[in-house]
Amino acid sequence: MRRLSWFNATSLTLGFAFLYIPMLVVIIYSFNESRLVTVWSGFSTKWYGELLRNEAFLDAAWVTLQVGFFSSLLATVLGTMGAYVLVRGGRFYGRTLFSGMMYAPLVMPEVITGLSLLLLFISINLDRGIVTIVLAHATFSMCYVSVVVSSRLVSFDRSVEEAALDLGCTPFEAFRLVTLPIIAPAVISGWLLALTLSLDDLVIASFVAGPSATTLPIKVFSSIRLGVSPEINALSTILIVIVTIGTITASLSTKRALVRKQRAERMAEQSA
């Protein structure tokens, strides 16, 4: 096994330090007793209690979860349908235009996307709120789902699907019983990616959100303009812990599934 050179080791160390030291500082100062976030005055967990009693942050978090769930669900359905058409549809009239429209949000500046959607909602007299945020997030995140699902469909062994058709399945039954279970990991990955993008979005949501629907990124951004409070440090720490637990759980689940697959393959080879 090759050892890292001193240059690569130093670069890797500095890179990880640049990424994770600020997070560590936020976690440490979330337990600071003082309201001044840069002055340590003792250990305390009172800011977590203050955060749980802050109705504005709780309401923003609830709106964010609603928007994230519904927008990622809509983006997954539309993105999967678009990927299936692009991969399995062959050549059809308007394919180039359809493909360009599907992938345009990948390279479109978020400011342009947000402004365009704002003008669209105003022109059709649609009041800004949770519905407009869901539609906006689904619009820019379904292209990411399409990319993920398309990569799986391209490498999909169509002989399995053809065998199901030969055994009497209709095209819809073959898709539901054969194709969808095989591409399910890619669909789930696309849904998680769309959910992450929705939870993290600030620019587009700031254009299409109304006074009755404030997402958590918007609330945090508006709060830090008046100064960083210990409550924001506590909120950031909670989010870091949730993401860390989710990442470790997903990694362990993937590793466990791979081990089970390898064990099943070995048992099949031994029985053969």
Residue 250 is encoded by which pair of tokens?
């997903």
> Total domain count for the chain?
1
Asked whether residue 194 is domain-assigned, the answer is yes
Q: Which tens digits make up the pLDDT trace of 227-269?
A: 777 888 888 888 888 888 888 887 888 788 778 878 877 887 7
Asked whether residue 173 is domain-assigned, the answer is yes
Which pLDDT value is given to residue 133? 93
Which pLDDT value is given to residue 249? 85
Count Cβ atoms within 10 A of the Cβ of residue 208 and give its class: 0-12 exposed, 13-18 middle, 19 or more buried.
buried
Instruction: Give the integer Cα–Cα distance in Å for 166 and 20.
Output: 55
Which pLDDT value is given to residue 1? 55
Query: Which CATH number is 179's domain given?
Result: 1.10.3720.10
Q: Which of 16, 129, 151 lies closest to 121 in space, CA to CA? A: 129
Asked whether residue 172 is domain-assigned, the answer is yes
235 in Cβ contact with 241 (< 8 Å): no
Q: Is 135's pLDDT higher than 90?
A: yes
In this prediction the pTM is: 0.82
Which pLDDT value is given to residue 262? 80
- Write down the mean pLDDT value for the chain: 85
C-alpha atoms less than 13 angstroms from C-alpha of 116 in its C-beta half-sphere: 12
H helices present in 92-229, as ranges: 95-107, 110-123, 130-154, 158-166, 171-174, 180-200, 203-208, 216-224
One-letter amino acid at 49 equals G
Q: Which of 93, 72, 94, 75 lies closest to 83 in space, CA to CA? A: 75
- Greater confidence (173 vs 133) lies with 133
Range of the domain at 104: 65-215
φ/ψ of 124, rounded to 5, equals -100, 10
Q: Which tens digits make up the pLDDT trace of 167-220?
A: 888 888 888 888 888 888 888 888 988 998 998 888 999 999 888 888 988 888
Asked whether residue 170 is domain-assigned, the answer is yes
Number of helices (H), then strands (E), belonging to the chain: the values are 12, 0
Asked whether residue 269 is domain-assigned, the answer is no
